[in-house]
Every structure is written in structure tokens, then in C-alpha cells.
A and B are shown apart, each in its own frame.
Chain A
Amino acid sequence: MGLADFFRNFFQRNGLFLSLFLLAAVGFWVFFLIILPQIFMIDFSFRFNLPPAEMGGPKDVYTISHYKFLVYGSEQSADSYNFIDLSVFLRTIGAAVFVTIFDLAICYPIAYYLAQVAKGGWARLMVLSLIVPFWVNEILRAFAFRIIFGSNGIINEALLALGIIDDPYPFIRDNIALYAGLGYAFVLLMIFPLYNAIESLDKNQIEAARDLGSPWWRIHARIVIPFAKPGISSGCTMVFMLTAGALAAPEILGGPSSLWFTQIIYQWFNTGGNWPRGSAYAIILLSTCIAFVLLMMRVFKVKLGEIAR
């Protein structure tokens, strides 16, 4: 079917007004909100950081110096590589992977329970109690975690009272508060795709496997997880991307000595006053995340179309 046919069909099916609205809305969304800003960012990332007066002048030429900076650092520095930024970058990716796996491990049983086991009012109550905390805004939630995990926080108080520890445990310095906060922040984005996928699984499949002698773990390994794979990938992708790109939680919950890569980007844009370098860093983060997700999809044999299901 040619493109012309497609549009003719599209207009016939939806009518003139709706068709124009859909095309305009989607077009605006894709072009002005996704493509155009990213093009500007890419363009920016290849330029020198010049004072406004010199922009467009003879010195305004393309360069890959900002990309090199992440790898090799400043030319004045004694190190041959930019160890500080690179380690933050790798730690961010690693931590995002960890948070994603952590979220998956927590959310899978909950989603399975909601989708296949819980009934009626009880299930609705559970969903509600998952959603309602997200009415509280992100900053407030992050500060609440800071209080809970602080050295005088309820967790330390409880552990001290129970005699499990003798001194307050530095949850914030060890980034445990940060991982908990990040994990919590995106729980819903993991649960709902999982729930959707598992909910459409025919209960009889589970019963059939059980009837054929399968223990519960094999039912999950062979029946439920393969079936829910698109939902799992979709949830993991979202949680991973958003965790790697989170700013507020690391800002508030991060330990004093550990940076999140987004914080470095933020510094370049803001206090550093170097937008091109900030753009280059942001682009590197974005493309690394995309590449990582595509790699994982290949490893676990998931097609892009399945994620969008």
C-alpha cells in the first residue's frame, strides 16, 4: 500500500477534521518537541563555547572537543583520561541497571499478584495504595526519604532500638537512600507494563502447567515470564532511562562524595556556563542509554514492536 493510499484511507476513516487534528498534533509532538530540540542539542554539542559576540564569527566552527573532554579531560590535567567524569558516567549507568533489576524483582510479584491472583475490591485497594503516594510531589518524596534514612531517622532509630547496630548506619553516604528513592520513584512505571502483560495471560495456561506437574518457579520461568517479556522489557526500559536521567533524587538523596552523571551535565549548563559541553555530555548519556537498551533487547530477543504493544 502506497503512502497516498494510506492517507486516503486515513482521511476516509477518521473524517477531515479529526484527521487534520491527529496529523497536526502528532506532527507537532514529533517535530517540535522531539526532533527539533535534539537537533539543536546535537548542533550545540559540536560548537566551541564562545561569548555571544563571537557566535557566528570566524571562530564559530564545528569541533569534537567536548566529546573528547569526557574521555581525556582537560589538556592541562596530569591524568591521561578524565577519570572523574568517566567513573561518574559508568557508575550512573551501573546504578541505573541495579535500580532497574531491583524494581523488576520487587514489582514482578506484585504485578503477578494483582493480575492473576487478587480479586475485585482488594486488588483495587492495592492499586490505589500504589498510586496515591505519587500524588505527593517528587521533591517532597525525596526529602521524606532523606528524613527516614537520616542518622536520626526512623530506620536507624529502629535498628538501634532493636540492637542490630550500635551506631547509626550512614544510609545517605553509602547511597542506599538514593537507590531506594530512585527505585521507589519509578515503581509504577515498572508495575503497570508488567501488570498489563501478565493480566492478558490465560489463567488456564498456568493451571495447565501446574496440572502437568510443574512447580511454581517453573511455571514462572517457562510460562509467565516468556509471555510477559514485552511488558518486562517495556518496564525495564522506562525505569532504566528515567533512572539514568534522574536529577532531583540524586541532588537530594545522593551522598556528599558521589555525583550522578546528570548532575555534571546540570553543572555544565548552569554553574559552568558551558552549554556546548553540557549538550555533548547529555547526548553521550542519551545515546549510551539507547545503545544499552538495544543491546539488552537483542540479548533477550525482544522486538521493538513488542515493547510498544
Chain B
Amino acid sequence: MSADVRLENVSIKFGTFVAARDVDLTIAGGEFFSFLGPSGCGKTTILRAVSGFLKPSEGRILIGGQDMAGYGPNRRPTALIFQNLALFPLMTVWENITFALEVKGVGKAERRKKADELLELIALPGQGDKMVGELSGGQRQRVAIARALAAEPKVLLLDEPLSALDLKLRQHMRTELRAIQQRVGITFIYITHDQGEALTMSDHVAVMREGVIEQIGDGTSIYDSPGTSFVASFVGENNLFRGEVSGIEDGMAEVETNVGKLVARLPENAVKPLAVGDDAHIFHRPESLRFARDDERVNRIRAKIVNEEFEGNFWQVYFEVAGSEKVIKMSMVNDGSSSERRVGEIVDLVCDPRLTVALAEGPLAAE
């Protein structure tokens, strides 16, 4: 059983500090929804408000259509997975998992049976009698998920639960989490500052900055059509150019930048539409930058190779461009062509206008 979650103009204030401002969104039942943003952007605050540990200063939170005001965390159809998991160290694995059932007064035999079922679900069969301390990081992670699922919540809330794991395990757990979510079919609300996690797992992502939702969309629209400069700079890597809009035509903008005239797409979901004469930020992804063919004229940039890094499957190549104080970056698949270029060489690059976006100048994510 899943339930939709609706936040109606929710604001949360601590004294004079506004942790969340006018958050208004609907999370459909059974979807995997992520709040993505840098630390301190208010995403955990929102999660705590949904779980009932915080009261919104303004607005309402509805779960399954029901106003949650006045319901404490123990009476909401939500279960929260904490960043540090908060497993109970003095209980065995199976007691941890079935704590919610113990609270409901379910008998021991039945609890034990349910624990075994859930251990099966999280691929830890037969580990019920261990203590939590005897498990590895990834196993503990799964026990935390099972413990939350045992409460049969309609909404599962996850507060950066993967951040303590190493990279390999984290990537594995992403797939696993997504699979578990699809198997149990309940609503997952996931908090993260890691865009990779948000993009791989989520049906929808809300990008937050300083308590405000900057953009809500699926992974591709967040990545390919960012609505603000902040979203573009926070999600993924970018080469950034600044300039002034000199012309607009057919959803494309011409921008005069320090590196010359660049043509870029205007994302249809841009929050602030650009007009001729506006200051603009141009974002271009390193993976779609490439060496120019002779006949390509648009967005052609002359650059000097200053460095290259080998990552096995990818080469990261860095360039200096006259007029741009920052080094620009190109990620290219290791196709065996590395011998054709040399550090110090002057080359021509091109960034496809359709893969380049122009947005109104605005705050950027911290590097």
C-alpha cells in the first residue's frame, strides 16, 4: 500500500532562519522521489517534517489525503531510515527488524516468522540471531531497510542512508534500493547531496537551494534541461561561459561571450526566460564537448591542451581558452585516439548548440 504525499506551501523556520520556504509539491503514491541539494539546503528539514519530528511553521503536510497536523512520528504511516541507521545495538538483528511489530503487540513466534521473511527480502537469510555489531556496513544498511519495512509504512523516508558506505557498495546499494522499492511498491522519499544517487534511482528529483525548491523533474530533464543556473551547476559537471544575449530565435539564443559568439538552447522549463540584452550563463557538459571537424563553424572554440588525465574508460582533457579565466574540460571515451593529441597543442573544439544551455544569470553551486 502506497500513499501520495502532498506538501502545501510548507515553510519551516528556526527563529529567524528559514530552513524551508513555501515548498509546494505532490509526490505520487509508489514513486521514488528524491530531494537533492547541498548540505544546509533544507532537505533534511523537509524529511523530518514529513516524518513528524518537526512541525511546519506554515502550510500543511498530507499523506494519502489526510492532514498530518497533530500526528506524532509514532502515529504517521511513515518510516524513517536515519543517516547513521540508528539500529539498536543491544538487540539482535531479528529483534531490530521486528521492533515495530513488538510495539504493536505481535507475538514472538509471528514476529520471528516475519523477520525471516524480511531477511529473505533483503538477501540476509539466516542472519537473524546475530547482533547488529557483527554485520558489515552493507548488511546493516539492509537491516535498517527491513526494520523500516516491517512497520508496513505507506511512505519510506531515507536520509542519506548510503553516505557512510564506500563507492562500490554505494553503487550496488543504489540498484538494490531501487529494486526493493519496486518490489514493495511504496512511496520512497530520498534525501541526498549526491546527484548520482538521485538521478539513478528516482522517478522525480527536486533540487533545493537555501530552503527553496529550484526545480522538480525526472532525471533527464534535471540534467538536460536545467531550469536555473544553480541546478545546472549543481547537477553534473559543466563548462561555464558568461555573456550577454544578442539574439533569440526558435528556442535558441545567441550569446556574446569572452570566447566569442555561442549559440545555446533555451530550456523550455527555465524559471526566468531570457531576452535580448540579458546577462546569461552558458552551460556545456564536458562529455559533449568534442574536437571540431573542418566544416563546423558554430560554437567553434580555439583552445590549447594544458593537461590530460587517464581514467581507464575515459580521458579527461583540460584546455585553456583565450578570454576564459577557467580551464575547460572535455570527457572523452578512451577510443585509442590519445596518440593523436599532445599537451601544448592548439586545437579547435565544438560544443553542439543543442547540448548547450543558456540560462539567466543566477547563483551557482559552490565548487
Tell me whether A212 and B53 are in contact in the complex, defined as CB-CB below 8 angstroms, given that A207-B73, A227-B90 are known contacts: no
**Distance to closest chain B CB from A119 (angstroms):** 13
Interface residues of B in 101-139 (CB under 8 A from A): 102-104
Kindly state the separation between the CA atoms of A214 and B99 in the bound complex, as whole angstroms: 9
Residues of B within 8 A of A211 (CB): 51-53, 73-74, 78-80
Q: Are B86 and A202 in contact (CB under 8 A)?
A: yes
B84: Cβ under 8 A from any A Cβ: yes
What DSSP secondary structure best describes chain A's contact surface? Answer: helix
Kindly state the separation between the CA atoms of A215 and B90 in the bound complex, as whole angstroms: 19
Residues of B within 8 A of A204 (CB): 82-84, 86
Task: Name the residue among A204, A213, A222, A223 with the largest chain B CB count within 10 angstroms.
Answer: A213
Residues of B within 8 A of A213 (CB): 74-75, 100, 103-104, 151
Number of interface residues of A (CB under 8 A): 17
A226: Cβ under 8 A from any B Cβ: yes
Kindly state the separation between the CA atoms of A218 and B234 in the bound complex, as whole angstroms: 43
A205: Cβ under 8 A from any B Cβ: yes
Interface residues of A in 175-223 (CB under 8 A from B): 202, 204-205, 207-215, 218, 222-223
Q: Which of B75, B90, B103, B104 contacts A226 (CB 8 A)?
A: B90
Q: Are B74 and A223 in contact (CB under 8 A)?
A: no
Q: Are A215 and B74 in contact (CB under 8 A)?
A: yes
Residues of B within 8 A of A223 (CB): 88
Q: Which of B82, B87, B103 contacts A207 (CB 8 A)?
A: B82
Query: Digit string of B68-94 for contact with A (CB within 8 Å is 1, else 0)?
Result: 000011110011101110111011000
Q: Are B104 and A205 in contact (CB under 8 A)?
A: no
- The size bracket of the interface on B is 20 to 34
Q: Are B53 and A207 in contact (CB under 8 A)?
A: yes
Residues of A within 8 A of B329 (CB): none
**Distance to closest chain A CB from B93 (angstroms):** 15
Interface residues of A in 206-263 (CB under 8 A from B): 207-215, 218, 222-223, 226-227
Q: Which of B52, B86, B90, B102 contacts A208 (CB 8 A)?
A: B86
Kindly state the separation between the CA atoms of A210 and B74 in the bound complex, as whole angstroms: 5
Residues of A within 8 A of B79 (CB): 211-212
**Distance to closest chain A CB from B69 (angstroms):** 17
Residues of B within 8 A of A209 (CB): 88, 99
Query: Digit string of A3-16 for contact with B (CB within 8 Å is 1, else 0)?
Result: 00000000000000
Q: Which of B83, B91, B103 contacts A212 (CB 8 A)?
A: B103
Kindly state the separation between the CA atoms of A227 and B87 in the bound complex, as whole angstroms: 13
Interface residues of B in 246-273 (CB under 8 A from A): none
Residues of B within 8 A of A210 (CB): 72-74
Residues of B within 8 A of A214 (CB): 74, 99, 103
Task: Name the residue among A208, A218, A226 with the largest chain B CB count within 10 angstroms.
Answer: A208
Residues of B within 8 A of A218 (CB): 103
**Distance to closest chain B CB from A281 (angstroms):** 41
Given contacts A204-B84, A204-B86, A212-B74, 4 further A-B contacts (CB under 8 A): A204-B82, A208-B80, A213-B100, A214-B74
26 inter-chain pairs at a CB distance below 8 angstroms, sorted by A residue, are: A202-B84, A204-B82, A204-B86, A207-B53, A207-B80, A207-B82, A208-B86, A209-B99, A210-B72, A210-B73, A211-B51, A211-B73, A211-B78, A211-B80, A212-B74, A212-B79, A212-B99, A212-B100, A212-B147, A212-B151, A213-B74, A213-B151, A214-B103, A215-B103, A222-B88, A223-B88
